[in-house]
A and B are shown apart, each in its own frame.
Chain A
């Protein structure tokens, strides 16, 4: 899984491409923790290029959400692909993590 981020004014976008699974999930956790530690607590994880997610990947996303909240910010997700959408729906996590169509829209109303 390839990870990168860029600051977009009011929020920071984290781009995760590849498979978010047992092997790569800890990397995402660490990565987002580091971004939050720099003071950016409003995070959008762009999942446009995340083709697959398993239970570990889901756990990592929620862990990232917790880190952002603890830092006083929020974590939102954007552009989920069909398999990821299915996992979110199956576990009702779509009610916790709403997916926005794009990274711009995630904090668009604030």
Chain B
């Protein structure tokens, strides 16, 4: 089936490239064939995913002695919701400790946790004025305060079943397994799922297929992780970042010292002497780094030498000061004070030489170099950041690093936690935007295709998901092409002859059959609709992520609110889609009028009107979604 789809697809697309392009209208012909090629690759990656679909039997019995921490992560969710989840977590049968990870630092929640005997973790003082890294930071903070061998991570709305650990821990009997992901399922979604909250294709054939390639995704919640694997990532990241920071500092040091010499009083031999010593110490550190000496040794020595140089300078300042005082005293003893000249204590000299008050602080360029020549990772709240902080979707980035280190993953296809989906289109769109942005950040920062340690199958499994988020650009073209034909009579294809139909129709039919077969009766239409209908969201995600990664601009990050947003339908959220829909409808009417007036040919008009109808059906999901008023029990 997959092979057949691909053969027909490649046949169609290569014909499109080679023989069918309408070069007179290249400005629409090329984008359209590019969009079609995009879709073919998408289908190809999907085919590859389901090719290795893995249906696992139940895991072996859970080990009897494992220690487990259950984390309930929260930021601003209602306390009732958090406590429902936390109490259900506490009720999990396998022995474990339950913790609420409250990034909102709410005293009421702390009290509730204490009342019910649930652990409560918030960020400590180390995190003040440091990058917080959102949920990844919350989890990394908790990892340092707990000890369990395994971690079950739950979002605040994901109420776990009592047997969730019994059913998943057995997989870890294989010592290379680092992750067991279970589906995310939402209980507050009506049967027709207007917001496309359930992702049955993803938590089904796609995850099972990725599992077949040992690339099951970590989805942030409802997953069990092996602490050892996370800590390994944390340690590797720490060493890598520290060495990088030291190399960068050494590279910048020559310029920094030159600047400092200019800024400092050039005639002061004391300052000049100190800078000589600092320069010598940094130069020595550079040679040690080349000789592969230990980072802690290098940084310790350089800091010690600099510290001594600073102390020498402070002592010289103090001596000069005391000499001045003595002279003043000699001139006019009484005026200095009743107890005469004071001698500044050693303790005071120490404090004046210390990090906080060091005269070296005046030379910011040097201070920056010295701060970076350390192993304390001073720009972060804690040295170890086991969960990746390169993306707002820390889950994907973390799992990819685990896979690159040779760890294995499992997708356990059984709902073991029951969550709450967004109940309004605004929240839903924020959530989708965040996922798409995070995915694009990972693509741009750690492109799976070039990650060492990943197998090619794994690379393509990660790439496949990233590829699907480019659909916004293709959607614009799929909306524009029929409009162009119906309004202007310009066809991107050289001719709509039998050649076209005998290649296109079999491919489309088999393609749809592939989804139907792979999905085995799973409703996939909702997902297809949203992958095109949310095109402004997907495009925005790509552009904001690119600006963020390349130019360091903020993403405009938002935490997904889990409770319902009040107010009437918010049509303004889907203004671009409304515009497109109006344009499509108008083009269809215009096309039919042109046909009636004899300005257009029947086949072209028919095909394009049908295309418009398809586009409008795709977009229709949003009209339903905007009017959706939230879940009422009994909707099922």
Contacts and interface: CB of A to CB of B under 8 A. Distances in A.
Interface of A: 19, 21-24, 26, 52, 54-56, 58-59, 62-63, 65-66, 69-70, 74, 87, 90-93, 95-96
Contacts of A63: 320-321, 324
16 contacts: A22-B313, A22-B360, A22-B362, A22-B363, A23-B265, A24-B362, A52-B361, A55-B349, A55-B357, A56-B313, A66-B327, A87-B352, A90-B348, A90-B351, A91-B318, A91-B352
A70 B345 CA distance: 27
A54 B339 contact: no
B24 interface: no
A58 B357 CA distance: 12
Nearest to B347: A90
The DSSP consensus for interface residues of chain B is helix
Contacts of A92: 342, 344, 348
A62 B325 contact: yes
Interface residues of B, number: 36
Counting chain A CB atoms within 10 Å of each CB, the highest count among B271, B317, B360 belongs to B317
B309 interface: no
Interface string B384-428: 000000000000000000000000000000000000000000000
Nearest to B332: A69
A21 B359 contact: yes
Contact of B357 (A24, A59, A69, A87): A87
Interface in B312-361: 313-314, 317-318, 320-321, 324-325, 327-328, 331-332, 335-337, 339, 342, 344-345, 348-349, 351-353, 357-361
A23 B324 contact: no
Given A55-B352, A55-B357, 20 more contacts: A22-B362, A26-B265, A52-B361, A54-B352, A54-B359, A54-B361, A54-B362, A55-B349, A63-B321, A66-B328, A69-B332, A90-B351, A90-B352, A91-B318, A91-B352, A92-B342, A93-B342, A95-B339, A96-B336, A96-B337
Given A22-B362, A63-B320, A91-B348, A55 B327 contact: no
Contact of A21 (B324, B337, B362): B362
Counting chain B CB atoms within 10 Å of each CB, the highest count among A21, A56, A93 belongs to A56
Interface of B: 263-265, 268, 271, 313-314, 317-318, 320-321, 324-325, 327-328, 331-332, 335-337, 339, 342, 344-345, 348-349, 351-353, 357-363
Contacts of A74: 335
Counting chain B CB atoms within 10 Å of each CB, the highest count among A26, A62, A93 belongs to A62
The 4 closest A-B pairs by CB, nearest first: A21-B362, A22-B359, A55-B317, A22-B362
A52 B328 CA distance: 25
B352 A26 contact: no
A66 B329 CA distance: 10
A6 to B, nearest CB: 25
Contacts of A26: 265, 268
Contacts, number: 88
B342 A96 contact: yes
A74 B328 CA distance: 11
B344 A59 contact: no
Nearest to A30: B265
Given A62-B321, A92-B344, A96-B325, A69 B358 contact: no
A40 B317 CA distance: 26
Given A21-B361, A22-B271, A66-B328, A58 B321 contact: yes
A46 B264 CA distance: 24
Contacts of B357: 54-55, 87
Contacts of B332: 69
B328 A23 contact: no
A72 to B, nearest CB: 10
A42 B181 CA distance: 78
A70 B339 CA distance: 21
Contacts of A24: 362
B466 to A, nearest CB: 48
Contacts of B335: 69, 74
Contacts of B348: 90-92
A63 B358 CA distance: 20
A82 B316 CA distance: 25
A22 B313 CA distance: 10
Contact of A95 (B321, B342, B349, B360): B342
Contacts of B331: 69-70
A92 B337 CA distance: 12
Contacts of B328: 65-66, 69
B257 to A, nearest CB: 14
A47 to B, nearest CB: 16
B344 A23 contact: no
Nearest to A61: B321
A58 to B, nearest CB: 6
A19 B349 CA distance: 19
A72 B314 CA distance: 29
A19 B328 CA distance: 26
Given A63-B320, A69-B331, A69-B332, A55 B359 contact: yes
Nearest to B352: A55
Given A22-B271, A55-B352, A66 B363 contact: no
B320 A59 contact: yes
Contacts of A23: 263-265, 362-363
A4 B360 CA distance: 25
Nearest to A53: B357
A95 B337 CA distance: 7
Contacts of B321: 55, 58-59, 62-63
Nearest to B314: A55
Counting chain B CB atoms within 10 Å of each CB, the highest count among A69, A87, A91, A95 belongs to A91
Contacts of A70: 331
A78 to B, nearest CB: 18
Given A22-B363, A59-B318, A96-B337, A54 B358 contact: yes
Contacts of B327: 66
A42 B264 CA distance: 29
Nearest to B274: A22
